[in-house]
Structure 1
Amino acid sequence: MRYRIVALAALLAATGCSDAGPAWRHLEAAPEARTEVAGALLSGGRVAVVGGLTADGAPSPRVDVYDTRRRRWTRLPDLPEPLHHAMAVGRQGRLYVVGGYRARDGEPSDRAWVLFDRRWRPLPPMPRPRAAGGAALVRNRVYVVGGVGPGGLARRSLHLDLRTLRWTAFDGVTPPREHLGVTAAGGRVYAIGGRTAGLGTNVAVAEAYDPVRRAWTRLPDAPTARGGGAAAAVARTVVALGGERPSGTIAAIDAFDPSARRWRSLPPSPRPRHGAAAVGVGRTVYQALGGPGPGLTASPTLMALRVARR
């Protein structure tokens, strides 16, 4: 009997029926090492990685796309200007990029762009500049949450209606914070972690915004306080990953089940990074590029983890 139990446990682990497996997979490295990038899901299961900083600290205009089916990278037209700490979402084959720090003066940008037919087109600027926040798409709106503006931490959130092309301000996250993870799942916007000042002020706060009720709901705190991390929605689960603290980058991966309002742990990353893109494709979360050490470090690493259902 004991032999059968051990054998069954080994089989479950091998087939990915527990959080112990399957492990992270190392995939094809990106063409250029960068950190503080934005990520977005494009049609056909493609992962877009936008802008960022190179290893020598130069802002990059590159937009690289990883095809998860063909397992190869291609390059899209460069951004109209180099940006880092920007925010991005994809919708119906189009790539939307908003805000970020400008290369020419290092200040937050209020510009917004959309790429389609291999051409960048300007959108109405945001009411106020914004960088180091997060973006998510719910129905026909691009939600911009958290981040930094000209006067410090942004205390209001914004959304752009893609039908009317009008920006609207609404309540911000509490506490105000930047370098947070933002994603959308089940018609809600999730904001996970972030930091309230410099490195070492990470928080574990988790919130969800309901566009119908126009209200934020406080969720149970995440198991890990992280700043410089990211969030992605996979398999009806919100996954928080990456980030940095003074002692190093964060390997722990936290997953939130919105229906059960409960957190669980996923296999830790063997190559933890901050400032990386995180994108969910089906039941798999992809983590692309980012810094392997605190501060200005850059990597071309691409990894993926299949998230088991609970």
Structure 2
Amino acid sequence: MLALAVIAVLLAGWTTGTPLDVPRTEVAAAPLGPEIVVVGGFLANGGNSRRVDAYAPATDSWRRLPDIPVAVDHAAAASFRGRLVVVGGYGADRRPLRTAFLFDGDRWRRLPPPPSPRAAAAAAAVKGGTIYVVGGRDGGGLAREMLVLDLGTMRWSRRPGPVPREHLAAAALGGRVYVLGGRRAGYGTNLAIAQAYDPRTGRWQRLPPLPSPRGGTGAAGIAGRVVSIGGEERAGTIGSVYALDVRTRRWERLEDLPTPRHGLGVVAHSGRVWALAGGPKPGLTVSGSVEALALPAGG
């Protein structure tokens, strides 16, 4: 009876976890085995961080992992079969970085540099061990090419990218890469664009747009849906949460995020979608919030 009661509570809405020890925003995050890893980001003093922390949903606890070799914010992260890859971001000089690092659960190692710098991008990993880095800035402006890393050979390639934008979100589901929202410059230029990339055909497909524009957002694929969480706009941070059913191609509104944030990590893990860290107000603000929403299987 106790187990059933707990499940009922989880399905009722958002739950709250133990906050991140060192609050920050513009983080990168991805699942890694039984944990969710949060990498880098801005600190409250405006500096960026090398800090890496891992959250265990099963025990609602955090532990410190080895620091990433370079202090970074606005990086992109994705994981596949026990390997976490962090690409680009902004360094201390506020220029996009041409870096990639792999964490295997014990230590970081530097990967071959990607073909071009990238910051304020998003990343997703599909089955087969390929990581796609989409959008962001490449040093010359909004990036038009997608960067592709084959984890088997550790070789990079370039492919046509989605509609150019930064501060966008990406998620993998059913062998495709879904790219949501983003902006062209400041948060007054938010977009509602939604696209999907099929690696089998090498083509991008337009999807029904998000019900509302959002930049500085995150996304995760879970239970047949791609869930869009967080962002910032002129009116403040965005609390509305939407899910795209990839079978029906229809958006549905879910329960609002209890602590609206931008620059957060959004990760699917343990049957729930998690929102970690991020800024509770537009601009440089930080949070250690951990909130999760359970989703039943899609129709």
- The verdict on a shared fold, with TM-score over 0.5 as the criterion, is yes
The structure whose Rg is larger is 1
Number of the residue aligned with 2:122: 134
Q: Is 1:296 aligned to 2:284, yes or no?
A: yes
Secondary structure of the residue that 1:151 maps to in structure 2? coil
Q: Is 1:257 aligned to 2:249, yes or no?
A: no
Partners of 1:15 and 1:308 in 2: CA distance:
11
Partners of 1:94 and 1:164 in 2: CA distance:
14
1:114 aligned partner, one-letter code:
L
Alpha-carbon offset, residue 117 of structure 1: 5.1
| 1:197-212 to 2 correspondences below 5 Å | 197-212=185-200
Alpha-carbon offset, residue 15 of structure 1: 4.3
Deviations along 1:146-178, one digit per CA (max 9) or x if unpaired, are 00111010011110011111111111112x100
Number of the residue aligned with 2:257: 269
Secondary structure of the residue that 2:231 maps to in structure 1? strand
Number of the residue aligned with 2:294: 306
29, 38, 41: which is aligned to 1:52? 41
1:26 aligned partner, one-letter code:
T
130, 154, 162: which is aligned to 2:151? 162
Alpha-carbon offset, residue 106 of structure 1: 1.2
Does the Cα contact within 8 Å between 1:279 and 1:286 map onto a contact in 2? Answer: yes
Deviations along 1:115-151, one digit per CA (max 9) or x if unpaired, are 1252211111011100001000012111000001110
Secondary structure of the residue that 2:37 maps to in structure 1? strand
Secondary structure of the residue that 1:101 maps to in structure 2? coil
Partners of 1:171 and 1:240 in 2: CA distance:
23
Secondary structure of the residue that 2:188 maps to in structure 1? coil
Unaligned 5+ segments in structure 2 are: 1-6
The structure 1 segments of at least 4 consecutive aligned residues displaced by more than 6 Å after TM superposition are none
Q: Is 1:195 aligned to 2:183, yes or no?
A: yes
1:122 aligned partner, one-letter code:
R
Q: Is 1:119 aligned to 2:119, yes or no?
A: no
Partners of 2:29 and 2:104 in 1: CA distance:
16
2:244 aligned partner, one-letter code:
F
Does the Cα contact within 8 Å between 1:224 and 1:254 map onto a contact in 2? Answer: no
Q: What is the RMSD computed on CA atoms of the aligned residues?
A: 1.4
Partners of 2:74 and 2:198 in 1: CA distance:
25
Alpha-carbon offset, residue 114 of structure 1: 0.6
Q: Percent identity?
A: 48
Partners of 1:189 and 1:216 in 2: CA distance:
9
In structure 2, the CA distance between the partners of 1:260 and 1:150, relative to structure 1 (3 Å rule), is: same
Partners of 2:133 and 2:150 in 1: CA distance:
12
Number of the residue aligned with 2:15: 25
TM-score between both structures, scaled by the size of structure 2: 0.95
In structure 2, the CA distance between the partners of 1:16 and 1:307, relative to structure 1 (3 Å rule), is: farther
Q: Is 1:234 aligned to 2:222, yes or no?
A: yes
2:55 aligned partner, one-letter code:
Y
Partners of 2:194 and 2:112 in 1: CA distance:
30
Alpha-carbon offset, residue 23 of structure 1: 1.7
Deviations along 1:167-206, one digit per CA (max 9) or x if unpaired, are 11111112x1000010100000000000012121111100
Partners of 2:112 and 2:8 in 1: CA distance:
48
Task: Tell me the matched-pair count.
Answer: 291
